[in-house]
Amino acid sequence: MTLKHKGSIDELVYPFIYEASPLCDFEVLTDELAARLGGIAQYLEDSCADINVDIATLVELAFHLNGSIRGKQAIHERHISWLTQSYKHYQLELGDTVSSFVLPEGAAPVSELNLAKCNCKKVIRQMVALDAKGITVPRELVRFTNLLANWLFCVSMVINKRRGFPIRNFVSQSY
């Protein structure tokens, strides 16, 4: 049996929710990413006003990412350039304090930033699935989402550093 919407529009959360395509899953995941980013700002203190400004931009870009496969592509090279510059700015602030794998620890919003990073990984995996199904995925979307995941991790470490929270290295016993 194929589920379809019948009835009131009030009982339909999203027009494509019953679609069997992985495209709907991509859109749900990018919606989750935007929502998570939107909740982060409430946890940032005045010392992180610069990060707040960047996150406000990223909430909008996550929604642009959302519609960039089904609809008109809205993530472009200029967005990747902006995010690259922001990433490099925060990397400079970190310096060499992060030289290996570190544990994703810290008070809010650090945990939310790390979960948003995980959201990015899910979005990337969904783009891989879309590509495998023959659905065109613009390369800029993949580049942007990978860069965003790295930005989120970097910024989580910057917040920890600004707060004086210790960064703990992790050495895997598996690799």
CB 111, CB 36: distance < 8 Å: no
Secondary structure class of 44 (helix, strand, coil) = coil
Q: CA neighbours within 13 Å on the CB side: how many for 174?
A: 1
The CA-to-CA distance between both ends of the chain, in Å, stands at: 45
Question: Tens-of-pLDDT digits for all 175 residues of the chain?
Answer: 476 767 777 764 556 666 778 898 999 999 999 999 999 978 888 888 999 999 999 999 999 999 999 999 999 999 999 999 999 999 999 988 766 778 888 888 999 999 999 999 999 999 999 999 999 999 999 999 999 999 999 999 999 999 999 888 888 888 8
Using the structure block, give the residue that is written with the tokens 């899953």.
25
- Look up the pTM and report it: 0.90
Distance in angstroms (rounded) separating the CA atoms of residues 6 and 9? 9
What's the topology of domain 22-40+49-93+102-163? Hypothetical Protein Ta1238; Chain: A; (1.20.1200)
In 3D space, the residue among 67, 84, 65 whose CA is nearest the CA of residue 75 turns out to be 65
Domains of the chain, residue spans:
22-40+49-93+102-163
